[in-house]
Structure 1
Amino acid sequence: MAKLPGGLDFLQGQPLRLPAPPEQLPAHPLQVFCPQRPEVITGQTVRRGQMLIEPIRPSDACHVSPITGTVRSVTPLSGDEGYRVMIEPPAGTVVTTLEVTPPRGRKLENWFAVLRQVGPWSEIDGGVGLIRQLDAARNRPVDRLVCVGLDRFPPYPDRSSLLMSFPDDAVLGTLILADMLNVKQVVMLAGRVPAMLGRLRSSCRKYRLKLVVEANRYPSAHPTMVAFGGRSARGGSRYLPNGHNPVEQGVMMITPWTAVRIGRWFTLRRFDLLRPVFLARPDRLELLTGHYAMPGAPLSTLADDLTSSMIDAGRVLSGDPMTGRPIRDPAIVPVDQSLVTVLGEAPARTVEPCINCGWCLDVCPTRLDPVRMVRAAERRVDDAWLWDQLPWCIDCGLCSYVCPSAIPLTQTFSRVQREMGGRE
């Protein structure tokens, strides 16, 4: 991994030791997102593991029902963004695993078919998801497989917590994927977290997996940073903008929970449908608490004090404080994130003129010029240059974070990229 340019050092939090995932959870209605019209109707009874949709594109994962229950509603979302399926289970508890036998042998096509059938999968893996990476790997050899155990936001060590809690499963799951892909360069990438490293080192030695320990400097866990350590040279070919499949550059990336799920599936012959969720509260001394929940369950299953007023005020984020997005209606456990941040009431900041301090240039990990970019965006001059720069913004939020004038730099770049993309 190349040295990370820019970035910022945050306090490294202490990881949590999670127990094994429970085999059952209290029953709650689930809201399942489907990108196309589901193959079920209101009033229909669905079984745990029953397919809700099989996408047209083979690179997309199928969506299965994680519980047995009754379909209460199938609601189309605005802007052709898909459908939301409400499934209500009987009272009591729900089983959290699916009995699926792993494929025999190393044939990628067999593993891909089974893994695709038990979706949806998080899109956090490599920025595009496990299934899309595996689909690309069917046509292009993978040179390097990395399990990215660096924490996305060091004060809240969600990934370090998983590696400390399930080191054998994480290592085994990584090696299973490497074996089916015939990858020779396989790496477990972890941060310098002493409480976790002792257990992880032992597992890596046992299974002979290379462990690489890096300073967890934000945003070192981003796929672009993992692949290249930032921009190599202007106009160079080493290019990994947002949404770009890293397998096209010969690199495949997975997160610890993906590795743990595959490792546990291989040893227990049961596939986990729930996910760990870490709840961070920056305004309290206890920085992190760990929970298990079904994606799509009400947020109240994590903590009773997650009130509707906090959610309406945008104080509950899916993700970390730097890049997280407010959880709006419906207030449900996210599919793509293992971290949920609950913000305190912060005082409003007034936007002031730029004072040319240069702090945004210093922290940018992809060596952009945020000041010049925001001026070009506001005046809509030099659009060709701006369009060339925008894909390199990884939305880490550091320029906005350090700006003493409170200029919404990252937010402006995201908005302009959407506007300019719509014109293409």
Structure 2
Amino acid sequence: MLKQLKRAARGAGVPHEKGTAALATEKMPVPSKVVLPMRQHIGAPCAPVVKKGDTVMVGTLVGEAQGFVSANIYSSVSGTVTAVDSVRLSSGADCPAVVIQPDGEQTVDPAVKAPVVTDKASFIAAVQACGLVGLGGAGFPTAVKLSPKTPVDTLVINGAECEPYLTADAREFLENSETVMSGIQAVMKYLEIKSCIIAIERNKPECIDLMCSLAKGVEGVSVKPLKTRYPQGAEKILIESATGREVPQGGLPCDAGVIVLNVTTVSTIGKYLATGMPLVTKRLTVDGDAVAAPKNVEVLIGTPIQEVFAFCGLKEGVELGKVIMGGPMMGVAVATMDEPVLKQNNGLLAFTAQKAAMPAPQPCIRCGRCIEGCPMGLAPVQIAGAFTRKDTEELDKLCVDLCMLCGTCSYVCPAKRPVTQTMSLAKDFAAKEAKK
């Protein structure tokens, strides 16, 4: 399987839909309320540390991490806690949430101060205190990622942003290049990493040129332009493209001597070290054929999606078909516009019913395009058969656990079958059976 990776890192040539790439970020006003679910990361959900009636400020801790694989949650507004209740997320899971009524003053908590960092331990503690998670969409706590169990010699900055529509990371390069560089240098210094590769797809030439100029003369830092091909930004694919190394099956990037950080994640480290302001805002790309004025928007975390679209405007007289958190390939369709913006959200896409309509799936014609397109060299047709038979041994042989649910197989399928959904079910089934 590992040898297949180099032969099969193919993916798909998705449309170059980057209409907001040249649009500077606009700051959204304070919303009518913020809703802060206690699960905005991979790992243990936070425990609420405030109650109804409490007064909070910007940067006040409202959700405390429960264990190392977790991430603190802070208030993005000043105001009053109106409820500590349960909300339902797009995943279908119910989660405790803190609801805050803003006072409009945006008073900053006096506890917000730049951290004192002198060594690796205090650096990791600072990143953990920031509440930082992977801002490319995965939501893995960054402090955990920066605490590898095996030696690491290379830092890879993920600036691929390979999904259509999304341009928030490109704007981070262009608008916050100084904190991108300061974050990189801090990670390299305190983790004693000698080499950093800033990986950017070639469809972002202005980002490549800017970072090349800034990296010039900085020891160990280089920029690597990458082929524009989805899913170039997937962690294992990115590592191979940027370094030539392969992550072992079932392994982590650190097993290949690499740490991967999204560009906005590493930039946030730079900002936090300078200001002490925890993660309370997020840049989103708001786009789609139902959006009146697509924008890149800086949003307070917890803002209801409805208010984000009200700020950008939805076209009049069109039937709204689907709203997606994230990109069109790996994003999640939202059930209600009342859902809030989370830390790991990087885009909100609204499509008309006509654009969102999918043709009825047809029988599989065994064309093999899903196999040819799979960036991990998997065989979705065979995996689907093994899943239908509930053959766990065959699913294991077919390495279903390597599937990253990138959506390439569904995208390239001429029969428009729900291949990715089947892969997800098969992967989940195999994982549950393995635990028995």
State the TM-score bracket (shorter-chain normalisation): 0.7 to 0.9
Aligned pair in 2 of structure 1 residues 238, 392: CA closer, same or farther (>3 Å)? same
Match of 2:343 among 327, 335, 339: 335
Unaligned ranges ≥5, structure 2: 39-44
Task: Summarize the Cα distance change of 1:332–1:399 in structure 2 as closer, same or farther, 3 Å threshold.
Answer: same
Deviations 1:92-124 (A, max 9, x none): 55669983213232x111111122122153464
User: What is the alpha-carbon distance in structure 1 between the residues aligned to residue 277 and residue 62 of structure 2?
Assistant: 20
Alignment size in residue pairs: 409
Cα pair distance change 1:359/1:76, threshold 3 Å: same
| 1:366 aligned residue | 376
Paired residue for 1:115? Answer: 127
Unmatched segments (≥5 aa) in structure 1: none
Specify the alignment match of 1:30 in structure 2.
34
Show the counterpart of 1:246. 253
Q: Given the alignment, which residue of 82, 93, 98 partners 1:85?
A: 98
1:320, distance to aligned residue in structure 2 (A)? 0.7
What are the Cα deviations for residues 270-326 of structure 1, in whole angstroms up to 9, with x where unaligned? 55621111112157797x52111011111133221469xx99x77111111111101
Specify the alignment match of 1:320 in structure 2.
327
1:171 and 2:189 correspond: no
Deviation at 1:210, TM superposition (A): 0.8
Deviation at 1:415, TM superposition (A): 2.0
With the length of structure 1 as denominator, give the TM-score of the two structures.
0.85
Amino acid at match of 2:286: L
RMSD of aligned alpha carbons: 3.4
Report what 2:42 is aligned to: none
1:413 to partner: Cα distance: 1.4
The answer to whether structure 1 residue 291 and structure 2 residue 297 are counterparts is: yes
| C-alpha distance 48-270 of structure 1, shift in aligned 2 (>3 A) | closer
Partner of 2:212: 201
Confirm or deny: 8 A CA contact 1:154 1:218 kept in the other structure. Answer: no
Q: State the distance in 2 between where 1:40 and 1:120 align.
A: 20
- The question of 1:190 aligning with 2:200 is answered yes
Using the alignment, how far apart are the partners of 2:382 and 2:132 within structure 1? 40
Question: CA shift at 1:269, angstroms?
Answer: 5.8
Percent of aligned pairs with the same amino acid: 21
| CA apart distance, 1:86 | 0.8
Residue 383 of structure 1 corresponds to 392
| CA distance in structure 2 between the partners assigned to 1:279 and 1:247 by the alignment | 34
C-alpha deviation, 1:368, in angstroms? 0.6
| Contact 2:31–2:307 under 8 Å retained in 1 | no
2:309 is paired with a residue of what secondary structure? Answer: coil
SS at match of 1:7: coil
Alignment-mate amino acid for residue 257 of structure 2: G
Change (3 A) 1:202 1:41: same
TM-score (norm 2): 0.83
Provide the C-alpha distance between the structure 2 equivalents of 1:122 and 1:238, rounded to a whole number of angstroms: 19
- Counterpart of 1:57? 67
**In structure 2, do the counterparts of structure 1 residues 422 and 272 end up closer, same or farther at CA, with 3 Å as the change threshold?**
closer
Q: Does 1:5 align with 2:9?
A: yes
- Partners of 1:63 and 1:117 within 8 A in 2: no
The 8 Å contact of residues 172 and 207 in structure 1, kept in 2 or not, is answered as: no
